[in-house]
Every structure is written in C-alpha cells, then in structure tokens.
Chains A and B, each alone.
Chain A
Amino acid sequence: MNYKMMGRFNALILTIEAVFMLPALVICIVCGDTAGINGFIAGIAAAVGIACILAVFSRNAKPDFFAKEGLICVGTSWILLSFVGALPFFFSKYIPNFIDALFEIVSGFTTTGASILIDVEAMSKGMLYWRSFSHWLGGMGVLVFLLAIVPVSGKSEGYTMHILRAESPGPDVGKLVPKMRQTALILYSVYIVLTVLDFLFLIAGGMPVFDAVCTSFGTAGTGGFGVKSDSMASYSSYIQTVTAVFMLLFGVNFSCYYLILLKRIKSVFKDEELRFYFGVVFVSVVLITINIYGIYETLGESLHHSFFQVSSIITTTGFVTADFVNWPVFSRTLLLVLMFIGACAGSTGGGMKCARVLLIIKTIKRNINQVLHPKKVQTIRINGKTVDEKIISNTNAYLAVYMVILILSVILISFDGFSIETNLSAVLSCFNNIGPGLDVVGPMSNFAGYSVLSKCVLIFDMLAGRLEIFPVLVLFNRHAWKRQG
C-alpha cells in the first residue's frame, strides 16, 4: 500500500471541496445568514486543515500506484468528502444531529436525493445550494474532475484507469481518447454544456434563478434534491417537461454525446444499450399512463405525470410531480422495477445500469440455449462485438453481491417496525441512488423516521450503490490495508 500517494490524492480532493464550498459561503453572506456563514467557514477550515495535514504527511510520496491503491483511494476519498461535506449542516445547526447531516450530504454526493428534512423550505439558500451542488459534483465524480485538472505524470501513469473504472458506472469502462486527462475533460465539458442548457430552458419557463440553478444541478447529477418540500409539483408543466426530458438525457451514456460531436450519429442510434433504455422508458410510460388514467382527469395529464415519473425513476433522479404512493399497485411495482434497472452505463444515473441488465438477459438466454444444446458454442454480443467472458462473470458476480447487500440491508432496517414495502423501497431507493421510495418513505415524506442504525445502513447503501459496490467493499478487507502483498 502506498499510503502517502493516497494521502496526496485525498488532500487534493479536500482542497477541491473547500474551493467548491466558497460559492455557498458567498450566498450565505449575501443573504445575511449568520448560522450558514459559521457552518461553511467551519467546513472550509476543516477541509483545508485536513488537506494540509495530509499534504505534509505525503510530501515525499513515491509515484507507485496500482489497482488496489486506485480502488481504496476512491473509497476513502468519498467517505472523507462526505464527512467534511456534512460539517456545514452540522455547525450551522440547520441539522443538529451529525448522522442526519451525514445522511443528507451522502445522499447529495451519491446523487440519491433522499432527505431526512421534514421542512426543506426552512433551510437557508446557502444550505440548499450546497445540497444541490453536491449532486452536480457527485454525478460525474469528483475524482474524474481531479483527473481533468491535474496533469498526470510519473512512472505508473496508467493508474488513472483504475480511478476512472472505480468511479464511473458501468460494466466496462473505457476511455474516449488516448489521454486520460482529455477523456475527463471531454466528459466534464459535455456535462457542463448540458447543465447550462437545462438551466437556460428552465429560466425561459419563468423559474426563479436560484431555483433554476439548484434544479439543473439536481437534474444533471440525477440527484433529486429540490428547493421545495413538494419537489417539482408546484412548478408549471413546461418546467416539469423540460426537467423530465433533461433527466432522460443525463441518463444516457456520455460517450454517445461524444460520438454525436464526432458526427457518428448512426452508431449512436444503433447502440443496443441506448435502444434498450428508450425501449424500457417507452413501454413503462404507456403502461403506467393506461393504469393511472382513472386518477387523472385527462389522458394528457396522466401521460404527463407518467412520463415525468418514469423518467425520474429510471434515471434514478427522484424528482416528483405527483404522489405516486396513491397510484395503483401495478404502477408502483413497475416503478420499483425501474428503480432496479437504472440508467445507462457511463451516465450520471445509478441503479443496476441498462448495460448490465442487457448482459444478464443475454446470459440467461444463452444458458437456456445451453441446456437444450449442450455442445453449442455461443458468444454474447453487444453492438455486434463479442463481450469478454470476464465481463460477463464480473456482471454475474455484481448481481450476486448486489442481492446479498440488498437482503442484508432490508433485514437490518426492519427493526424499526415499518412495513415491508417501506423498508424494501427505502433500501432499493438508497442503494440505486433514487431518493423517494414507497409508503412511509414516499415522495411527499422523508427518511427522518428511521433510527440511527438504519440511517447508517442506508448511508452505506448509498455509497456502495454510487461506487458500484466493490470500491466500498474492499475497504472492509483487511488484506487491502496491509503494507505488503
């Protein structure tokens, strides 16, 4: 283990976090929010202080950096990021309980959007901004941001691959261009351009500037923190439609946008994952629209709500326009399934990812075939290319670990005495980084009712879900921390 190199990385991450807290501090100063100012000054001081200690500790680090260091580095930096990020809430006394504050910021960074706040509107603007901004930063990944701004040098320059792989979602993460830094820059440029577009469309619909900024951050990171207790319900249907469309766009694999920039639009349309994603969205919208037709007066209205909700859930954003707890069981079940599927690989969304679901479906097909024709040699193809067996077995392993964590989490939080539907949807919602669940944790309520233990379990689920389990799980392996081997 190269602890010093990891120390240097974490110091850089905290410095970035401190810099990003500054706009929130400015907002607090402009609004004259003394508690907020205290909170952010404490947060910035803590970030800078820890970063300095780490920087001194790691001043003569050797540049050896391998897969293990990459994975652990991603895990530790997210945890550190969350702890420091929670300080403004805690020290400003807006969220007096530290576990609650941690839950809130982890929910932000992991782009979950699940909240323990009973009254969102009681928060000051600076706090709301920091909450929404954490979505934006966590959406594309803070380490990818680091890769984009810090030039890579040293002997083992390939190590950046491990970081990209650990932080970016999907079964098979690759670069867009040969240089890692260029790749990270392209990803962030696409991300920024799309966010600005979303913001402009929202402004055009007459949304207040502050609301538009926060909403576009929440949409871009597919997070789901709103600035109002009823999420998106009180905005005009134009704003809701814009948000629904942009949520869908942020759920698309970002390499598709790069291909569009390269004018290779044909290969984008042929992309199997993208077709699967839009296929699932289309079918779900149609089914739910028919199912909820009775609740809303016109077909148009039920189509609108169904489209918004499907887009919000499959991209794991979690904005709501309607309290879907009151929808028929079939619609709610369908939404649960969508929570599980999630967005495309390489997007800002969470969940299992369409690419993995597609792979699993194809593997199942193959295994059934294998039973009928034991000697048949079959390869699995995606986009016409053979998928490496290693990726397939990794995907199967991922599914297995996913299920184990899901079941354990549901058991652990069941002590609090809520219904099975509540618990299952709460875990699914946190693990897949969505936000609202069903029943007690439904869109119009929150997670405040859970005990401290349950909140810790859910915090773990959110982090594990965002980082795709393994970077978080390796932290619990004692071999990972040994100096040798």
Chain B
Amino acid sequence: MKIIIAGNGKVGQTLAKLLSAEGYDLTIIDSQPSVLQSSLEKFDVMAFQGNCASMETLLSAGVKNTDLLIATTGTDELNLLCCMTARAMNPKIHTIARIRDPEYAKQAYIMKDAFGLSLAFNPEKQAAKEIERLIKYPGFLKIDSFAKGRVEIVELKIEEGSKLCNVPLKDMNGIVKCKVLVCAVLRNRKVIAPDGNFELKAGDKIYVTAPTDALSDLLKNLGIVTHKIKDVMIAGGGMVSYYLACLLEKSKINVRIIDSDYGRCIKLSEQLPKASIIHGDASNQQVLESEGINEADALVTLTGNDELNMIISLYGSNCGIPLTVTKLTNFENSNIIDSLPIGSVISPHRLCCNTIVRYVRTMRNQTGAAVTIHSIADGQAEAIEFLVDKNTLNCGIPLKKNKLRKNILIVCITRGDVTEMPDGDSTFNEGDSVVIVSSGDNVILQLNDIFE
C-alpha cells in the first residue's frame, strides 16, 4: 500500500517510523530539506521537498497511484488544501488531515464532508481527553480503554511498601479482591511477559487489564486513596489546555490556567468564562504558591517546553500534589524520565499516531482488522482489540489446544456485556471482542496472526 505523509514534523516522523516498520511504501513531503534528509537516513522512505498542496509536488510524489495521504503540516489550512488537491488529482485516494485549531475543531464534521476527508484528527483534543480520564481516575499513570469502554488496561507503578511488593502474580487476585490480569511488566525499561510465579518488585510498572467497573475496587484494595479531584491547576495556556479546561468545566471541576503571554490569557478568558486565567510565569515558584498550588488536587503541565514541564511537575509533586500530569514531546521514552516523580506522561503526537496506524491497518485488510490499538510499556508492547468473525480460525476450540505465537497474551474476551479473563478452557465465539497484548516484534494485523 502506498502512503504519502505531508509534513515531516513530530507527528510525521513518528508516523514514518511506525508505518515503515509495518512495511508500507512511504513518501514524505516537506518544505525543509534538512528534516527530510534526517528522515531519509532513519527510515526506508522516499522524500520530496516542496509545498505539499501544490500539484507539481504531489505529482512528483506519485499521488496518482497512492492509496492514502496523511496531511500533518503545522497549518490546518494547508492540510485541508493538500487533501483537497490530492483528491482532485486522484478521486480514489483516502485522506487524513490534522485539524487542531479550536475554532475549526467545532466544525470538523462539516469539513470532513466538504473536503472528503476520511479522518480528521486533533492531537491536542485527544490529549486533553486522555488527561481528563487520568483526572477522573487518579492513581493510574495511564488508562487505555477497549470494548467500547467496558475493559481498560491501566498502568500502575509499584511503590516501595505497596501491598503488591514481592507478591507472585497468582496471588494477586486475592489481594485486590477482583478479577484482574497483569499483561505486561516494565522492569528496568525492558518489557516482560509475566507468568503466575512472577514476583513484582518495587519500581516495576505493571499493565493491568480490568473490567471498567472493577477499577475503583482495584484502587481501593491496593490502598491507593482516591481523592476526588475538584481543583486543577494547569501550567501553560496552549491548545491542550483549552480543550482540557472545556472538558473539566463540564465535570464541574475548578480550573486555573497560568500563562505568561498576556494576549493568550485574554483570549482564553474570552473562550473560558468559568476558568480563572492567571497571567504569570509558571516556572516562578512564587507565582505558583500565591495562586495556591498547595491546595490544588492536580497539576497539569502543558507548556510548549518539555524541560519546563518537567521542572514544574517536580516542584508540584514536591509540594505534595496527589496527581501530576506532564506533557512531553521529545523525551517520552527516555531513561531519566522513569526515575523522576513527575507523574503521568502524556505525548499528544504519540496518541494521534496510534489512531492513524489503526486507520491504516483497517484500510489494509477490510475484514478482521484491529478495532483498537494502544501501545503500552513505553511502546514496547501493543494492546490490540479484535472482533471475532466468521473468518477467525479455531472458533469454539478451547485455547489450551491452540498454539499461540511467542510473546502473545490473550488478556480478555468480552461476550455481550460479560468480560472474562481467559483461561485454558475459554473459547473464541463469533461476535466476541478479544484483547491481546503482543510484546514481541510480531506484527499482528488480524486476529489469526496470533496463532502459530
């Protein structure tokens, strides 16, 4: 399948990495030759320099026999124009555009039709939704939902003195008093697929599959106090902050946004009448203290500067704020981050890339494609949800009789409203929704790929 990526920024590069690893024919367009050069040397792709909305550039990139165009330049207008031009030149092409401006986001559904987009994505809005979920369920570092929100995979860090410390996994269900499954463990930045005798240690990050209604039990029985969050402080007044504030206002949570740009503050106060907007430097401790950082239930750092976000989060957790969320764009998978108490890490471009990869996989094989994909454990493992259909192999045969490929774990089967953690006697039936975790290098495109 041939794919053109217009715009070689952070999203473009992450997409190039993910999609070239899956073996698609990628062509990248950007106006900057220097970024193209570095992508050429990192990935097996072709690169063209030019304006991605111009016919000439698109033609030289071979738009006529391309199946999908992903426009992710910095400007919404350019993205739309690029998709429109491409569709005019090749009516069969699928187009995906990034639309991030809040003013356009409201009308994204109209534009989707008018410009014939297959998908419009908004990394900032998606990130805001993700942060909102973390605020609703404090205690988890990350939450990914499956089966239309019935099943979640949550990330937990085993702290020193936790009830789970030095406990073999087979005894875990007794402690948390609900049925959950640990599907991956991240220890020293290496992902481990654990079995029943695996003992957890302090410092491990574990990925737990649980039915959504069991989440609060899980937190309670682990001794993690769930303090309902009523007051959120946000450092940085960018687009994520705006979307997040909108969402939190709906849940009647108090929001304070600190930004150092006066004009931006004025604009935010126009858009968000209920939130209190503070003009000040969030990196200044006095500003944070005088705005009552000690009373806040949660601190979200969303400035455009990774280092600043880390420093503010460090300061916040030092002040004893129960929940901190840090936005990082460049260092998301770095060694140092793990050792720092900066709470949950959110990376907007990573989130939206997962969405796009999912779309691409669906396009490639119309039947049996993944319904949901989340990358977990620092991107070293993937949790994928599939629907069992008539083409699925080994339907109705107990799982213990089938040989699965290495590093594949079936974490749950949802049938109707009931979610079960599978054992050897479980079976796949048509209509089931199955979540698997793959921690190896296997590319799992459809459910049948998990069998040997």
Contact = CB atoms under 8 A, between A and B. Distances in A.
Contact of A180 (B21, B27, B33, B44): B44
A178 B46 CA distance: 4
Interface stretch (B35-43, B67-75, B85-93, B216-224): B35-43
Given A178-B46, A388-B33, A158 B25 contact: no
Contact of A160 (B2, B27, B44): B44
B45 interface: yes
A177 B41 CA distance: 15
A178 B41 contact: no
A179 B41 contact: no
A179 B41 CA distance: 13
Nearest to A386: B49
Interface in B16-63: 20-21, 25-27, 33, 39-46
Interface residues of A, number: 18
A165 to B, nearest CB: 10
Nearest to A152: B44
B40 to A, nearest CB: 6
A388 B2 CA distance: 27
Given A157-B20, A388-B33, A178 B40 contact: no
A161 interface: yes
A381 B350 CA distance: 39
Contacts of A66: 41
Interface string A387-411: 0100000000000000000000000
Interface in A175-191: 175, 177-180, 182
Contacts of B20: 157
B13 to A, nearest CB: 12
B42 A175 contact: no
A178 B33 contact: no
A178 B27 contact: yes
A275 B26 CA distance: 31
B41 A175 contact: no
Nearest to A151: B23
B43 A157 contact: yes
A186 B40 CA distance: 19
Contacts of B44: 152, 157-158, 160, 178-180
Interface in A135-193: 152, 156-162, 174-175, 177-180, 182
A161 B41 contact: yes
A475 interface: no
A177 B46 contact: yes
A158 B42 CA distance: 4
The listed residue with most B CB atoms (<10 A of its CB), out of A66, A177, A178, A180, is A178
B301 to A, nearest CB: 31
Interface string A319-345: 000000000000000000000000000
A82 to B, nearest CB: 28
A178 B42 contact: no
Contact of A175 (B21, B39, B46): B46
Contacts of B21: 157
Contacts of A67: 41
Contacts of B26: 178
Interface of A: 66-67, 152, 156-162, 174-175, 177-180, 182, 388
9 contacts: A66-B41, A158-B39, A159-B41, A161-B40, A177-B46, A178-B25, A178-B27, A178-B44, A178-B46
Interface of B: 2, 20-21, 25-27, 33, 39-46
Given A156-B42, A178-B2, A178-B26, 13 more contacts: A157-B21, A157-B43, A158-B44, A158-B45, A159-B41, A160-B44, A162-B41, A177-B46, A178-B44, A179-B25, A179-B44, A182-B25, A388-B33
